[in-house]
Amino acid sequence: MEDRELAALLEDLESDIIERKESTSDGKKIRQAICAFANDLPNYKQPGILFIGVKDDGTCANLSINDNLLLNLANIRDEGKILPFPVLQVSKRIINGCELAVVIVEPSDAPPVRLDGRTYIRVGPRRGTATAEEERRLNEKRRARDLPFDLRPFISASVDDLNLEFFQREYLSSALAPEVLEENQRSLAQQLTSLRFTTPEPDSYPTSLGILVTGKEPRQFIPGFYIQFVRFDGTELTDPIVDRKEISGALIDLLRYIDEVVQANISTASDIAAQPVEIKQPNYPVVALQQLIRNAVMHRSYEETNAPVRVYWFNDRIEIQNPGGLFGQVNRQNFGKGVTDYRNPHLAEAMKTLGYVQRFGIGIPTAQKELQKNGNSLAEFTIEDSYISVTIRSKI
């Protein structure tokens, strides 16, 4: 957006698509504004603009716009408080002689967008949380959009194919703020649609997300949704197999079980030579393996292949492979360096909701840090067009 367009908007009144802030001191209100712009309740289908460094009356607040301020604003996208991920641009501009930070927020393709489990919207200059009727309108906006795989409907499935008890008992309380649940104005069908597990009524077909997260038998609809675990007694694929498992089920069952398998296969040695207190030293740090396996489940391609995520455990190394190459803005040069993009953005949101992701974009750096701390060499990545694999060398 050119400076002359921004200048015209800056001089206008606050509205559905314009908001001003003197500073970044109130990060909560800045996030609420981004969330509301992403929801685009009036359906203008144009970006919302947040001007930072200007007073309510339009005069300059003389805020110093430095790299740290801009970086903190840009990091709002990946911190996991606003889900699904907002699409935003952050830049420094000088408009009418005033130095500003400008945040341009694109309307979401998959509303409702929530901040900490609350759906914020703007109607004119008013910002607030959405009512049940306003959420229904946001759900309806998804009908005709070109949606990613994890939001596409399964016409061959029905709500009966979802584990509704788990959805109500565990997922709802994690995904929505307590006061939203207490209002209790939404039917089960509306709640499923609001969290993108089904399409809007009257069809109410389960989406890929609904099948992956709460499906009774996800592989009936998504054949590649499982982890193939093989433990070899040796260092080659031709060596004897000690253990073999196909780990499947809904998302939480899949991740819980693979965590148990990883824990059971890690070996621990004792070191009492250097100190009087015995020190336990695992051959692999469990946190690193968890991060790398969860990354594979989150970022893999589910629509182009029926191949599983593979975890092959050799005597000297572990190899983890996920189908699907790099996606979006991630390339070979910036891979693993904090640059993120999401083939399955709503599956990533579900993993964050269930506690399997603390913050987006730090999985690989966290794994590398844990490997170094444990005395292992750094993980080695192989990037191909059809898959990505990682090799973790044993410490012992």
| DSSP string for 304-332 | S--PPEEEEE-SSEEEEEEES---TT--T
Looking at residue 207, its pLDDT comes to 96
Could you report the per-residue pLDDT of 332-384, keeping only the tens digit for each? 888 887 778 889 999 999 999 999 998 888 899 999 999 999 999 999 999 99
d(CA 177, CA 60): 36
Please report which confidence band the pLDDT of residue 137 belongs to, taking 50, 70 and 90 as the band edges.
confident
302 and 383 housed in the same domain: yes
- Residues 25, 45, single domain; the answer is yes
Among 201, 218, 235, where does a domain finish? Answer: 218
- pLDDT for 328: 84
305: CATH: 3.30.565.60
pLDDT digits (tens, 9 = 90+) for 305-334: 999 999 999 999 999 999 999 888 888 888
Q: What is the DSSP letter of 168?
A: I
Residues 6+ apart with CB under 8 A from 83: 113, 114, 349, 352, 353
What domain count does the chain have? 3
Q: What is the extent of the structural domain holding 327?
A: 227-393
Q: Which amino acid is at 123?
A: V
| Residue 197 in domain | yes
Is residue 62, in this structure, part of any structural domain at all?
yes
**Residue 170, in any domain of the structure:** yes
User: Of 165, 186, 218, which one is at a domain's C-terminal end?
Assistant: 218
Question: Do both 186 and 122 map to the same domain?
Answer: no
236 and 291, same domain (yes or no)? yes
Residue 259 lies in a domain: yes
Task: Report CA dihedral (152, 383, 348, 77) to the nearest 10 degrees.
Answer: -110
pLDDT value at residue 396: 67
Claim to verify: residue 166 and residue 273 sit in the same structural domain: no
pTM for this model (two decimals): 0.83
Mean pLDDT of the chain: 90
Q: Are residues 82 and 214 in the same domain?
A: no
- pLDDT at 211 exceeding the cut of 80: yes
Asked if residue 202 and residue 161 are part of one domain, the reply reads yes
Nearest to 33 by CA among 75, 78, 86, 80: 86
Report residue 209's pLDDT band, with 50, 70 and 90 as the boundaries: very high
Which pLDDT score, from 0 to 100, does residue 3 have? 80
Mean per-residue pLDDT, 46-74: 93
Instruction: Give the residues across from 387 on adjacent strands.
Output: 323
**Are 211 and 235 in the same domain?**
no
Statement to judge: residues 193 and 309 lie in one domain: no
Assess if residue 43 is contained within a domain: yes
Instruction: Render pLDDT for 230-287 as a digit per residue (tens, 0 to 9).
Output: 999 999 999 999 999 999 999 999 999 999 999 999 987 655 555 555 567 899 999 9
- 40 within domain boundaries: yes
Q: Tell me how far apart the alpha carbons of residues 41 and 131 are, in angstroms, rounded to a whole number.
A: 11
Query: In this prediction, what percent of the chain has a pLDDT beyond 90?
Result: 68
Together in a domain, 389 and 275: yes
Is 390's pLDDT higher than 90? yes
Is 211 in the same domain as 248? no
Query: Could you give the percent of the chain with pLDDT greater than 70?
Result: 96
Q: Are both 286 and 386 inside the same structural domain?
A: yes
* Burial classification of residue 10, based on how many CB atoms lie within 10 Å of its CB (0-12 exposed, 13-18 middle, 19 or more buried): buried
Residue at a domain's end among 200, 218, 236: 218
Note whether residue 140 is domain-resident: no
